[in-house]
């Protein structure tokens, strides 16, 4: 599959089932009740920490601006509240643009901690296979955030990759910004990007301790908090593996036989994907 831009959630999905991730692009993602509930909980958590910003983008430029501006505003509250959510993050590796949205940033003991939230339909502790997928996502967020802060991915890199100088926001969208009393000097994609990158550059030390928090989607209670240690070497190994698929060096991998239980939770199983379908019928 040829793509110039890869989402962090896609990379996480590769560590769950690469074949399923590919089929989501081919046939469209099947939105389940669990996905809807998870999005609802993320929205509720965001409203607890971030200042509500209602914007209705009309074009790609408007959408780009909204992501940059709302992320900048989220970071403005971090020092005061010691916590913020939904921060858009960008980067690049081996010619591919990378983009994601960090669920939560916390300040603890003077360090900024990256956290990913996942919802579950029960109170069971997630399996190693589930944790691996989520680990890949939070590791990538930490890498992208560190690359910007340490100057390995700069504002000029971003402006060149996304051609932001060629993305004027619409007059209707500009009127929305005026109604929110946004500073006139902050009413362009370039200026919003500069504000976001500047805020990331001013962050304190980014912790190498990463958190994955599991939440019951019905009660809202925290099931467990999984902590992992970040290393640049592990992040690079992870990216080397997933990028071989995006570069066309290999086909999408199905889950291994010992993890075919995952197929029972896949909307494509037995239809668009039958890798383990004959085996499942034999052992039914």
pLDDT at 30 over 70: no
Residue 284: predicted pLDDT:
45
31: confidence class by pLDDT, cuts 50, 70, 90: low
Mean pLDDT of 141-163: 97
Of 21-35, 140-154, 159-173, 176-190, the poorest mean pLDDT is in 21-35
Q: What is the CATH number of the domain that holds 112?
A: 3.90.320
Which residue in the block uniquely carries the two structure tokens 């992208």? 144
- Does 39 share its domain with 15? yes
- Does 123 share its domain with 262? no
Radius of gyration over every alpha carbon of the chain, rounded to an integer in angstroms: 20
Q: What is the mean pLDDT of the chain?
A: 89
- Does 165 share its domain with 240? yes
- Does 190 share its domain with 277? no
pLDDT in tens, 207-225: 999 999 999 888 888 999 9
HSE, CB side, 13 Å, CA atoms: give it for residue 32: 10
- Reference 78, options 196, 215, 193; nearest CA is 196
- Does 158 share its domain with 282? no
Question: What does residue 183 show for φ and ψ, rounded to 5 degrees?
Answer: -55, 135
Q: Rounded CA gap, 55 and 266, in Å?
A: 34
| DSSP state letter for 109 | T
Reduce the DSSP state of residue 142 to 3 states and report it: helix
Indicate the pTM of the whole model. 0.87
**Residue 217, token pair as written in the block:** 């989607």
- Does 155 share its domain with 273? no
Number of structural domains (the chain) is 2
- Does 242 share its domain with 262? no
Domain that holds residue 51: 5-253
- Does 122 share its domain with 45? yes
Residue 279: predicted pLDDT:
59
């Amino acid at each position: 599959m040829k793509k110039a831009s890869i989402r962090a959630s896609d990379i996480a999905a590769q560590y769950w089932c690469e074949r399923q991730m590919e089929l989501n692009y081919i046939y469209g993602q099947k939105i389940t009740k669990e996905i809807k509930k998870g999005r609802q909980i993320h929205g509720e958590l965001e409203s607890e920490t971030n200042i509500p910003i209602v914007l209705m983008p009309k074009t790609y430029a408007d959408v780009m601006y909204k992501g940059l501006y709302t992320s900048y505003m989220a970071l403005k509250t971090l020092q005061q509240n010691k916590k913020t959510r939904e921060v858009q993050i960008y980067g690049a590796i081996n010619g591919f643009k990378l983009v994601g949205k960090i669920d939560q940033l916390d300040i603890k003991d003077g360090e900024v901690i990256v956290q990913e939230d996942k919802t579950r339909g029960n109170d069971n502790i997630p399996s190693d296979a589930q944790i691996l997928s989520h680990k890949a996502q939070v590791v990538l967020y930490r890498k992208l955030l560190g690359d910007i802060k340490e100057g390995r991915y700069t504002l000029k890199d971003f402006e060149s990759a996304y051609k932001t100088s060629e993305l004027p926001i619409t007059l209707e969208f500009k009127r929305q910004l005026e109604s929110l009393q946004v500073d006139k000097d902050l009413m362009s994609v370039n200026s919003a990007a500069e504000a976001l990158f500047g805020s990331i550059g001013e962050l304190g030390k980014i912790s190498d301790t990463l958190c994955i928090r599991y939440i019951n989607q019905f009660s809202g209670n925290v099931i467990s908090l999984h902590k992992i240690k970040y290393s640049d070497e592990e992040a690079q190994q992870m990216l080397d593996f997933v990028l071989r698929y995006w570069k066309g060096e290999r086909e999408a991998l199905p889950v291994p036989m010992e993890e075919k239980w995952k197929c029972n939770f896949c909307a494509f199983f037995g239809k668009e994907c039958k890798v383990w379908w004959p085996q499942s019928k034999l052992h039914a």
